[in-house]
Structure 1
């Protein structure tokens, strides 16, 4: 049995992915608003730069690498999960978006006021890379803050 001090949990493993998601979401809103030249609340959601999903998983990959080392089994699990998520973001979800566009085009003549399917689902490689960099940056900053470097 350990003491209460040894049971102390490192909250960075819970907070880092949330903070990465928040930072990526704010950056995406800013980028979309600049591109649209207005507050782009209607563009919040799937797709866009940076990828929230990539930011979340890459923040955990980076956090584990920096705190536990790349030899730790959790690092391998995190890399595997990140790989699956980023592949999904670039391929499967992009195909879903293409299907939504085709369905919307087919239903256009019969439009009876129903909402259209969201077509922007996937990410480009640049959006995924931007998400990965965002997540890695957030995790690096959190580790630096914990170590007193920043």
Structure 2
């Protein structure tokens, strides 16, 4: 299997399209808020919609569309659920701890040298929009 075959595989392609659209939406939303084009958001985590959720939803949906309820679908579904759960809970807790750590570093006047990027996790709305995006992209790609 060559690179073009992998890239054009409907399951892989739906994941790729879902994450690209999710990241582009983040750039557009930020531009509408700040009136500045920040293309670095394409490679950032967090924000609306959840790119992680869009990808794993597109993956699970594509596998289901192509193969039905199989062992592969079960594995992909479990990974999708774990990823979505992580987006909603664990990353938010880590972000909270990072915020506290940065406050301590600031109090010690070390924040300019050692500041840690804060991960906010995702809100339920961001995850739901990511899921809808993943479903829609997988469905549309399956129609091609």
Q: TM-score range by the shorter chain?
A: 0.7 to 0.9
Larger mean CA deviation between 93-102 and 117-126 belongs to: 117-126
CA distance in 2, matches of 1:78, 1:30: 30
What 5-or-longer segments of structure 1 have no aligned partner?
A: 1-7, 146-150
Matches within 5 A, 1:1-150: 11-41=9-39, 43=41, 45-69=44-68, 71-109=69-107, 110-111=109-110, 113-145=112-144
RMSD, aligned CA: 2.0
Provide the rounded CA distance (Å) in 1 between the counterparts of 2:66 and 2:41: 36
Structure with the greater alpha carbon radius of gyration = 1
Under a length normalisation based on structure 1, what TM-score does the superposition of the two structures give?
Answer: 0.82
* Count of aligned pairs between the two proteins: 137
Structure 2, unmatched stretches of 5+, are none
1:50-70 deviations in Å (ceiling 9; x for gaps): 00100110001111121212x
TM-score using structure 2 length: 0.85
Alpha-carbon offset, residue 131 of structure 1: 0.7
How much does 1:121 deviate? Answer: 3.2
Which region of structure 1 is more displaced relative to structure 2, 82-91 or 9-18? 9-18
